[in-house]
Chains A and B, each alone.
Chain A
């Protein structure tokens, strides 16, 4: 339990940022897709080899509609690497992963017909190979194999934190991503602190003093007594913290 991390050759993890194109679809989707087709017809390969994120924030759509939209884009060779602004419940394993914390960059100029020589030439290349899509994004993570002691504070805004051991009363874990505790969570756990509402908290035994996701918190007193001592996962739905036993 109290082994020190002494692996001679650790895996190298690097952060890297890419500029992605954010697509913001509008309702009704049929009209929006028609306009997209029009743009694609004018500029062949505009979406090719560009990382594309789908921003569905504020759209009143359900899981079926979202899946249909991603499918429709797929038939147009527009590959989505992530979805922004969707409720976690809308995303399944068959859909691209959720993304958050995007910073705005300057707008992409959509090419106009007159400056595009290849107008009308539908020259779609083969879909990019899956390996390229798989390593598109690696989220940094921190793994701790010792108990987090009272008075210790673990701060990792870059991503997920995994603790193999317990988090003591009076200790705190602050993560930009999700928090996983393979042990008893007695202290404070704050996930998604950099505005990541899709972060979650998992623990094998819940005895926490305080839990928070993206600033929404609950103290030990507000937690349902029935959840105490159980393996629990906690996530954010709207501005309510939801918790259910695991397994």
Chain B
């Protein structure tokens, strides 16, 4: 049985889709079978970021409505044969996602994939709650600024109350992925510090992704950053985050921090 991961944030534009694609590609490169599912019905982007926009025939809504079989809707990545995409519908709206339909699709995907990564839409409405509903693990994507942190806090509250795991009294495993971290701005004090974000959200840190032109460039050519340039700073950060997601104990490094700060680097895991 595979693990269902929801990538969520509450706020839009923080890097959910980028992170879903990058982590999916990183996990797939380690040999695991991965599917990334776009839940953003009506505003789909994952197909663009993964460079599959010209190969979408059927999508998640078609499968839920019984218009296509799951196998028909799954798009295999051209570069990685263990990486698949299930696109969202661009023409339908969120009402086409039903709780029973989503449950069926997720259950079927869990049987054949090691990782089912659900890319949640922004907001706390139907699309977002359905994306998180069946998750085993949640990745909360947050930018180091106050509005993003508060929205993430709200989402963590929902993860602890509105998911199947929470309703059955189990504990939802939650990880913080701090994205668009700018060392220069952090230096000037224009940005929340890592420790402040961890103190407010009090969930363990999965990784810190530096703000980088490499991310934008990778998106523009339709490639997850972990596939486009595996040696760029954000790609390395995503690879390490994927290893931590698989249970490896790796110290989290803060981008831009000089060497010799080893004391600070260790023990960064919160709560």
Closest A residue, CB atoms, query B174: A2
Q: Are B202 and A1 in touch, CB under 8 angstroms?
A: yes
A141-196 residues with Cβ-Cβ distance < 8 A to B are 146-147, 149-152, 165-166, 168-171, 184, 186
Contacts A149-B156, A149-B160, A150-B157; is A170 near B150 (CB within 8 Å)?
A: yes
Q: Are A150 and B203 in touch, CB under 8 angstroms?
A: no
List the B side residues contacting A146 at CB < 8 Å: 160
Contacts A2-B171, A152-B157; is A147 near B202 (CB within 8 Å)?
A: yes
**B153 on interface, CB distance cutoff 8 Å:** yes
List the B side residues contacting A166 at CB < 8 Å: 199-200, 202
Q: Are B202 and A170 in touch, CB under 8 angstroms?
A: no
List the B side residues contacting A169 at CB < 8 Å: 146, 150, 153, 200
**A4 on interface, CB distance cutoff 8 Å:** yes
Greatest chain A CB density within 10 A among B151, B154, B171 is at B154
Q: How far is the CA of A184 from the CA of B149 in the complex (A)?
A: 15
Q: How many residues of B contact A (CB 8 A)?
A: 18
Q: Are A168 and B200 in touch, CB under 8 angstroms?
A: yes
CB contact between A170 and one of B154, B158, B270 (< 8 Å): that residue: B154
* Chain B 51-73 interface 0/1 with A at a Cβ cutoff of 8 Å (1 = within): 00000000000000000000000
Q: How far is the CA of A2 from the CA of B158 in the complex (A)?
A: 14
**B271 on interface, CB distance cutoff 8 Å:** yes
Q: Are A184 and B157 in touch, CB under 8 angstroms?
A: no
Q: How far is the CA of A1 from the CA of B171 in the complex (A)?
A: 13
B165-188 residues with Cβ-Cβ distance < 8 A to A are 169, 171, 174
Closest A residue, CB atoms, query B158: A151
CB proximity of B230 to chain A, nearest CB, Å: 34
List the A side residues contacting B171 at CB < 8 Å: 2, 4
Q: Are B154 and A151 in touch, CB under 8 angstroms?
A: yes
List the A side residues contacting B146 at CB < 8 Å: 169
CB proximity of A186 to chain B, nearest CB, Å: 8
List the B side residues contacting A147 at CB < 8 Å: 202
CB proximity of A164 to chain B, nearest CB, Å: 12
List the A side residues contacting B202 at CB < 8 Å: 1-2, 147, 165-166
Closest B residue, CB atoms, query A168: B153
How many A-B contacts if CB must be within 8 Å? 46
Q: How far is the CA of A28 from the CA of B201 in the complex (A)?
A: 59
Q: Are A170 and B203 in touch, CB under 8 angstroms?
A: no
List the B side residues contacting A165 at CB < 8 Å: 202
Closest A residue, CB atoms, query B270: A1
Q: How far is the CA of A103 from the CA of B16 in the complex (A)?
A: 55
B138-158 residues with Cβ-Cβ distance < 8 A to A are 146, 150-151, 153-154, 156-158
Q: How far is the CA of A2 from the CA of B160 in the complex (A)?
A: 10
* Chain A 1-26 interface 0/1 with B at a Cβ cutoff of 8 Å (1 = within): 11010000000000000000000000
CB contact between B203 and one of A2, A168, A171, A186 (< 8 Å): that residue: A2
Q: Are A170 and B271 in touch, CB under 8 angstroms?
A: no
List the A side residues contacting B157 at CB < 8 Å: 149-152, 171
Greatest chain B CB density within 10 A among A1, A165, A169, A184 is at A169
List the B side residues contacting A171 at CB < 8 Å: 153, 157
CB contact between B271 and one of A1, A152, A184, A186 (< 8 Å): that residue: A1
CB<8 Å pairs between A and B, sample of 5: A1-B202, A2-B271, A146-B160, A168-B200, A169-B200
Q: Ordered nearest first, which 4 A-B pairs have the shortest CB separation? A: A149-B157, A150-B153, A150-B154, A1-B271
Given A149-B154, A165-B202, A170-B153, 12 more A-B residue pairs with CB atoms under 8 Å apart are: A1-B270, A1-B271, A2-B174, A2-B203, A149-B157, A150-B157, A166-B199, A168-B150, A169-B153, A171-B153, A171-B157, A186-B200
Q: Interface of A with B (CB < 8 Å)? A: 1-2, 4, 146-147, 149-152, 165-166, 168-171, 184, 186
